[in-house]
């Protein structure tokens, strides 16, 4: 990763940690004196998987079946409810003209809309790290 990209990714991991995203089973940042620098490191790390589409999460230790490895608060998830808090987007998605759109198409429209907001999007730090294109078979439908 280039220096600027690495710096941006480190900012993203700190942003995620500050929102409560963590691979630690307990909230190790409960003290007001501690500021998380990353949401990963206890169980997971970011790795590059060139044969599987690029960047992803890799285990840094043995993980037991059923063990919690990543905690993401519901308030941080990109969901239909969280996206449709935006009145413009809600109006578009609920317009009967577009009722034939599939859930995948609606998600695509919502993500593009959020990307169009740029830095004013609450999810901007996350969106900037999404792949710009996909070339793996798993990302195509039959």
- Look at 127 and 30; give whichever has higher pLDDT: 127
Q: Could you say which of 15, 40, 73 is where a domain stops? A: 73
Write out pLDDT tens, residues 3-38: 777 788 888 888 888 999 998 877 555 444 456 778
Rounded to a whole number of angstroms, the distance between the first and last alpha carbons of the chain is: 33
Q: Could you say which of 73, 108, 127 is where a domain stops? A: 73
Number of domains in the chain: 2
Query: Are residues 62 and 84 part of one domain?
Result: no
Write out pLDDT tens, residues 78-99: 887 888 888 888 888 877 676 7
Instruction: Point out which residues pair with 71 in neighbouring strands.
Output: 22
Give residue 135's domain range: 78-142
Task: Give dist(CA 104, CA 124) in Å, integer.
Answer: 20
pTM for the predicted model, two decimal places: 0.72
Task: Give dist(CA 139, CA 65) in Å, integer.
Answer: 26
Block residue for tokens 């941080």:
76
- Is residue 119 scored above 90 in pLDDT? yes
Q: What is the DSSP string of 62-113?
A: ---TT----B--GGGS--HHHHTTSHHHHHHHT-GGGTT--HHHHHHHHHHH
Query: Are residues 62 and 127 part of one domain?
Result: no
Task: Give dist(CA 112, CA 64) in Å, integer.
Answer: 37
- Is residue 137 scored above 90 in pLDDT? no
Query: Are residues 97 and 45 part of one domain?
Result: no
Query: Are residues 58 and 87 part of one domain?
Result: no
Q: Could you say which of 56, 73, 90 is where a domain stops? A: 73
Instruction: Point out which residues pair with 55 in neighbouring strands.
Output: 48
Query: Are residues 2 and 68 part of one domain?
Result: yes
């Amino acid at each position: 990763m280039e220096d600027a990209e690495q710096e941006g990714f480190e900012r993203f991991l700190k942003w995620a940690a500050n929102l409560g995203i963590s691979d630690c089973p307990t909230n190790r940042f409960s003290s007001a004196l501690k500021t998380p620098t990353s949401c990963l490191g206890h169980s997971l790390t970011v790795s590059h998987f060139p044969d599987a589409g690029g960047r992803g999460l890799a285990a840094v230790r043995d993980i037991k079946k059923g063990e919690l490895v990543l905690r993401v608060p519901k308030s941080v998830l990109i969901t239909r409810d969280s996206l449709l808090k935006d009145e413009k987007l809600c109006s578009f998605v609920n317009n009967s003209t577009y009722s034939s759109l599939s859930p995948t198409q609606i998600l695509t429209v919502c993500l593009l809309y959020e990307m169009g907001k740029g830095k004013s999007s609450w999810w901007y730090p996350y969106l900037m790290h999404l792949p710009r294109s996909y070339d793996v078979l798993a990302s195509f439908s039959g």
